[in-house]
């Protein structure tokens, strides 16, 4: 049972409570809500028509397409990787397990700009690998593959990090039961493991997707900012802004903002459903 | 289906879970693996199931070496302690799972599966609950679903890992009886793991007592209870009172006074008892090794009041047990204790103070504290307690009627 915080003998005096609440609301208001509102007000400054004109500009449309394409590759890739990694970590014992967990966390601790640079050094024209790629006419950096790889790198912890604790907590008894009943590995995964992790998985995918679409640092380094070729939404926003094209910049930015709000909404719905299901058990 | 386990070994890092275990389970037998936690009983069960790989040794299922056999091919039903039901499936779907995952060629028709699942559910008295989810069932019901699920694939061998461990006492007893009846009906070779000696005694045909990865004794409940081969088995199969003693050169067993005990066997854990403050000392006629015997009444020192015994007694009182003979452990079950409110001349008694009395049942359970602080337990017919009017705080006298001696 959760206690209501109204008990006067354990709660803080009114002035303290008021101060804390004011601080929290003020902080969120200034740092989150105000800028969010600013995005839309700036975007609509010259009216709704200018807003849509800005969005219909070919480079803007291309940036939106490219962002969706990168996310459409990076998210499923990290979904599969996340399930594999968390399955291995939660259900098996092997040497190097701790090391693997540490490596999964790496993209969280390394600055995205650095990770972008690493790929430039790895695949760029000056490296041996880059030379080989150039000889075979494969372009990675300053091209779409580079964007995809950088995005995968930056977002790969999201699904795995969400699933590892969940799967560890659930243990392997249900899987063992399924195997004792004659199910093969694939069947066991599809009809036993997957239903048990579906909410956590969805949650991880959502966070992964939000980050994949909004990623700036790593993508900025590997992209080379070629307009209409390697510009995703965040990069396009930056270019427009640097050109003092504020309405267009904020109009494109508002697309990202809407994506973020939708993600947040879905996340909240999942959390509520998930909590209900946990409670039902 | 007969099972044979030969020289099975299993290590977990430095921990020896199983050290060279050999066991035969006859066709149609219901066998209990009994032991404290960490004794290796669950590991043995999981190795037989194929869920765990042994480091060495072989398992034969029906004469066929099973080491290379995949879990699927062993035809084994397994019931987990925490049920391991599929949470997102209904009771019906849980039980049907094993039938539905069969290869197409071996799979029954949909109607056939339905018929069999419902038959199994009525066997476990859950046919009315077929569309419920596991979360809507009680613990006992869940375990019955788990049982029905494991039986659905018509296993030749049923393995149960602490099947009733997570249930409350009353449900546990019901399910125990029910499992026994079920086994009597379908005669499937079954092995179940338990740490509850009462459960093992009540349900199984034979009991395997395990400790530290080794089998201590295999026998019928009657055998392991009344003819335990060593102190561990005796200890594990029931409550007991323990006294220190020693065996002299003539093979006679003596109980020790506690001052000697405490100064001599310091390695004994403090919870392990003994000694008699009152200078009570009694000789037991020889007891062959670990074989039980009945002592009709304890011989009195003053029945042979020669000077020499008196002398030797005063001499021995101060010398350690090991110098006087072979130190032994003397045990008596609580129901083998005799109480009196006044000591009579024919026997010597241990003076004790009555502690808690649990009067539930025909036998009252009494806790008594000795002068040295050690607690003794006795189970005395309620009628005797009533006629003696024993209550908490009384000073009374107690002696074991029947003892077992282990070295």
A–B interface: beta-carbon pairs under 8 A: 61
Chain B CB contacts of A281 below 8 Å: 87, 135
From CA B247, how far away is CA B261, in angstroms rounded? 14
Contact, A161 vs A83, CB < 8 A?
no
Question: How high is the pLDDT of residue A280?
Answer: 60
| Residues B83-109 pLDDT 10s | 999 999 999 999 999 999 988 888 889
pLDDT in tens, B354-380: 999 998 888 899 999 887 778 889 999
ipTM exceeding cut-off 0.90 for this assembly: no
Q: Of chain B residues 131-160, which have a CB less than 8 A from chain A?
A: 133, 135, 146, 149-150, 152-153
Q: List chain A residues with CB under 8 Å of B146.
A: 177
Contacts of A181 in chain B (CB under 8 A): 97-98, 101, 149-150, 152-153
Choose among A150, A155, A134, A130: nearest CA to A220.
A150
Does A177 sit within 8 Å of B84, measured CB to CB?
yes
Give tens-digit pLDDT for A32-60: 889 889 999 989 988 888 899 888 989 99
> What is d(CA B86, CA B279) in angstroms, rounded to the nearest whole number?
64
Cα of A12 vs its chain's centroid, Å: 38
Asked if A63 reaches chain B (Cβ–Cβ under 8 Å), the answer is no
Instruction: Report the C-alpha gap between A183 and A191 in whole angstroms.
Output: 10
Residues from chain A that touch B77, judged by Cβ atoms under 8 A, are 180
Gap from B208 CA to chain A (nearest CA, Å): 24
pLDDT at B314: 36
Residue A191 in contact with partner chain B when CB distance is under 8 A: yes
Alpha-carbon distance A102 to nearest alpha carbon in chain B (angstroms): 24
Which residue in the set B82, B88, B149 is minimally distant from A181, CB to CB?
Answer: B149
From A174, A176, A280, residue closest to B51, measured CB to CB? A176
Q: What is the pLDDT of residues B102-140, one digit of tens each?
A: 888 888 899 999 999 999 999 888 999 999 999 999 998
Interface contact flag, A184 B80, Cβ < 8 Å: no
Q: What token pair was written down for B286?
A: 């020889």
Distance of CA B335 to the CA centre of its chain: 17
Q: What is the DSSP letter of B240?
A: -
Whether B60 and chain A come into contact, CB under 8 Å, resolves to no
What does the pLDDT look like over A166-220, one tens digit per residue? 998 888 899 999 999 999 889 999 999 999 998 889 889 999 999 999 999 999 9
Quote the tokens at residue B403. Answer: 């003892």
Contact between chains at A180 and B149 (C-beta distance less than 8 A): no
Alpha-carbon span A40 to A257, nearest angstrom: 9
Chain centroid to Cα A204, Å, comes to 8
Compute the distance between CA of residue B320 and CA of residue B268 in angstroms, rounded to an integer.
13
Q: Does B82 contact A173 at a Cβ distance shorter than 8 Å? A: yes
pLDDT tens-digit profile of B27-44?
999 999 999 988 999 999
pLDDT at A73 over 90: yes
Distance from CA of B21 to the nearest CA of A (A): 24
Residue B298 C-beta-side C-alpha neighbours within 13 Å:
27
Beta strands in B286-359 (DSSP E): 293-294, 326-332, 337-340, 350-358
């Amino acid at each position: 049972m959760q206690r209501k915080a109204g008990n006067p003998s354990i709660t803080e005096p009114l002035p303290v409570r008021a101060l804390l609440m004011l601080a929290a609301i003020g902080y969120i208001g200034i740092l989150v809500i105000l800028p969010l509102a600013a995005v839309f007000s700036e975007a609509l400054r010259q009216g709704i028509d200018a807003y849509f004109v800005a969005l219909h500009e070919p480079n803007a449309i291309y940036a939106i397409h490219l962002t969706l394409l990168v996310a459409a590759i990076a998210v499923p890739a990290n979904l599969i990787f996340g399930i594999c990694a968390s399955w291995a970590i939660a259900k098996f014992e092997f040497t190097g397990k701790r090391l693997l967990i540490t490596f999964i966390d790496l993209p969280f601790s390394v600055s995205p700009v650095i990770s972008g640079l690493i790929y430039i050094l790895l695949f760029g024209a000056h490296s041996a690998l880059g030379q080989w790629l150039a000889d075979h006419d494969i372009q990675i950096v300053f091209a779409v593959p580079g964007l995809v790889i950088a995005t995968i790198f930056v977002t790969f912890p999201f699904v795995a990090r969400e699933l590892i604790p969940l799967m560890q907590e659930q243990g392997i008894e249900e899987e063992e039961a399924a195997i004792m009943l004659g199910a093969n590995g694939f069947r066991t995964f599809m009809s036993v493991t997957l239903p048990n992790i579906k909410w956590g998985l969805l949650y991880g995918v959502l966070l992964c997707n939000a980050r994949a679409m909004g990623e700036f640092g790593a993508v900025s380094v590997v992209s080379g900012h070629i307009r209409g070729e390697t510009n995703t939404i965040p990069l396009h926003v930056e270019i427009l802004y640097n050109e003092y094209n504020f309405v267009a910049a904020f109009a494109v930015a508002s697309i990202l903002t809407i994506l973020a709000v939708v993600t947040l909404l879905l996340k909240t719905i999942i959390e509520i459903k998930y909590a209900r299901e946990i409670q039902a058990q | 289906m007969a099972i044979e386990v030969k020289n099975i070994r299993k290590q977990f890092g430095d921990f020896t879970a199983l050290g060279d275990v050999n066991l035969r389970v006859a066709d149609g037998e219901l066998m209990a693996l009994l032991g404290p936690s960490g004794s290796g009983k669950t590991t043995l069960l999981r190795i037989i199931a194929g869920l765990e790989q042994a480091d060495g040794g072989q398992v034969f299922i029906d004469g066929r070496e099973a080491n290379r056999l995949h879990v699927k091919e062993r035809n084994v039903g397994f019931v987990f302690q925490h049920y391991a039901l599929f949470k997102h499936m209904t009771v019906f779907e849980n039980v049907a799972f094993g039938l539905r995952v069969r290869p197409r060629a071996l799979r029954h028709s949909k109607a056939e599966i339905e018929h069999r699942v419902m038959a199994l559910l009525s066997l476990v008295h859950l046919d009315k609950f077929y569309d419920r989810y596991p979360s809507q069932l009680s613990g006992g019901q869940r375990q019955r679903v788990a049982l029905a699920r494991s039986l659905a694939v018509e296993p030749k061998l049923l393995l149960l890992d602490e099947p009733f461990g997570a249930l409350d006492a009353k449900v546990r007893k019901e399910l125990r009886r029910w499992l026994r009846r079920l086994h009597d009906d379908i005669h499937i070779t079954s092995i179940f793991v338990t740490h509850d000696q009462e459960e093992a005694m009540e349900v199984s045909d034979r009991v395997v007592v395990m400790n530290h990865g080794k089998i201590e004794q295999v026998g019928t409940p009657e055998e392991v209870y009344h003819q335990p081969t060593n102190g561990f088995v005796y200890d594990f199969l029931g409550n007991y009172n323990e006294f220190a003693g020693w065996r002299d050169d003539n093979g006679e067993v003596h109980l020790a006074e506690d001052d000697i005990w405490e100064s001599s066997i310091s390695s004994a854990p403090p919870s392990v008892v003994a000694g008699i403050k009152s200078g009570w000392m009694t000789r037991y006629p020889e007891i062959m090794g670990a074989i039980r015997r009945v002592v009709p009444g304890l011989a009195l020192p003053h029945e042979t009041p020669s000077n020499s015994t008196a002398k030797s007694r005063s001499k021995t009182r101060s010398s350690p047990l090991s110098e006087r003979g072979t130190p032994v452990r003397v045990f008596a079950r609580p129901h083998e204790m005799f109480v009196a409110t006044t000591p009579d001349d024919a026997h010597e008694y241990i003076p004790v103070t009555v502690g808690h009395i649990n009067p539930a049942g025909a036998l009252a359970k009494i806790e008594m504290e000795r002068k040295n602080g050690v607690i003794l337990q006795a189970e005395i017919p309620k009628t005797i307690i009533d006629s003696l009017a024993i209550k908490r705080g009384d000073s009374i006298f107690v002696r074991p009627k029947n003892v077992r001696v282990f070295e």
